[in-house]
Amino acid sequence: MSIDKIEARLAKGEVLILDGAIGTEITRRSGLPGTSDLAVTQMIKSPGLIRELHKDYIGAGADVITANTYDCNRPALEQVGIDPSRVAQITAMAVDLAREARDGAGREGEVFIAGSLGPLGSDYDPDDVPPLDVCLSVYREQVEAMASSGVDFILVETAARVRSARAGVKAAVEMGLTAWASLIADSKGRVKSGEPWGEAVEVLLSDGASAVLINCTQPEVLSLAMKELAQQSAAPVGAYAQCARYKGFGWEFGPSMSPQRYLGYARQWVDAGARIIGGCCGTTPEHIRALGSLRDQA
């Protein structure tokens, strides 16, 4: 399996570069208000926009691109009034677009496709994460569609509580797929739920996660959290921060963080031990291009 190539590179201590934001880039590029249905409705209406976005991240040097599947789970589709029986079809469409971009760029075997599992319950709210069995059944449906449409591995993203990250990892491992688990941090640098990184790592690795990451967290807080996570984890760790703030009705982009300033934070994460680096909400292909210089630093 091609994922072996990624694992071999991580085992050598190389820095891998992820892509940057998908959702906020769709908002920015479409010029439409950043409503919660936009990533899915724009993909259905303008698939070329998503393909182009993936292509730009590949051009910027990403080793991994993330399929636009973050909001394609059953409750997320239901919430925005899309027939939830379309989970498999819409998930497969997102994976196909990523693959078309990669293969169109002639980078098969070099750039890998992560299938994203977005958070369940209200975003960023650890108290609203559903029970483990509910998370598991939602994620299983999506992972099944991703496995048959050919993702290289599963990336559980923006988990506010260890429980939902575990569900994503378990769903992936059951289907024979590699899983990376990415959680968000609170302002003190702990897991958003207050759970200690040591416990989170222990449980996630025993469930079969191959890497543990922190995402969608302010860059300076992420630096604090990464010091703790890297110390606790025997498996590779990674980071991709947000440079935009969600204001309840949409994304607020300004004042924007320059790619060079973002690189300064990413260097702190690599110094702390991170080997998987990318961008979350508010980042662009230019932020990912800037990260290229970290490949030689590790």
Is residue 98 part of the contact set for Zn ion (CB under 5 A)? no
Is residue 281 part of the contact set for Zn ion (CB under 5 A)? yes
Q: What letter does residue 191 receive in the DSSP assignment?
A: B
Q: Please identify which residue in 17, 64, 111, 216 interacts with Zn ion, judged by CB under 5 A.
A: 216
Q: Please identify which residue in 280, 290, 291, 294 interacts with Zn ion, judged by CB under 5 A.
A: 280
Is residue 222 part of the contact set for Zn ion (CB under 5 A)? no
Question: How is the chain classified by DSSP, letter by letter?
Answer: -THHHHHHHHHTTPPEEB---SHHHHHHHHTS---TTHHHHHHHH-HHHHHHHHHHHHHTT-SEEEES-TT-SHHHHHHTT--GGGHHHHHHHHHHHHHHHHHHTT-TTTSEEEEEE---SSTT-GGGPPPHHHHHHHHHHHHHHHHHHT-SEEEEEEESSHHHHHHHHHHHHHTT--EEEEE-B-TTSSBTTS--HHHHHHHHHHHT-SEEEEESS-HHHHHHHHHHHHHH-SS-EEEEE--SEE-SSSEE-PSPPPHHHHHHHHHHHHHHT--EEEE-TT--HHHHHHHGGGGGT-
Tokens linked to 38: 């936009």
Is residue 221 part of the contact set for Zn ion (CB under 5 A)? no
Q: For the CB of residue 214, give the shortest distance to Zn ion in the complex, in Å.
A: 11
Is residue 242 part of the contact set for Zn ion (CB under 5 A)? yes
Q: For the CB of residue 13, give the shortest distance to Zn ion in the complex, in Å.
A: 27
Is residue 223 part of the contact set for Zn ion (CB under 5 A)? no
Stretch that binds Zn ion, among 59-67, 113-121, 127-135, 241-249 (CB under 5 A): 241-249
Residue 116 or residue 142: which is nearer to Zn ion going by CB?
A: 116
Q: For the CB of residue 243, give the shortest distance to Zn ion in the complex, in Å.
A: 9
Stretch that binds Zn ion, among 40-48, 67-75, 130-138, 280-288 (CB under 5 A): 280-288
Q: For the CB of residue 229, give the shortest distance to Zn ion in the complex, in Å.
A: 17
Is residue 241 part of the contact set for Zn ion (CB under 5 A)? no
Is residue 243 part of the contact set for Zn ion (CB under 5 A)? no
Q: For the CB of residue 133, give the shortest distance to Zn ion in the complex, in Å.
A: 26
Is residue 116 part of the contact set for Zn ion (CB under 5 A)? no
Binding stretches for Zn ion (CB under 5 A): 216, 242, 280-281
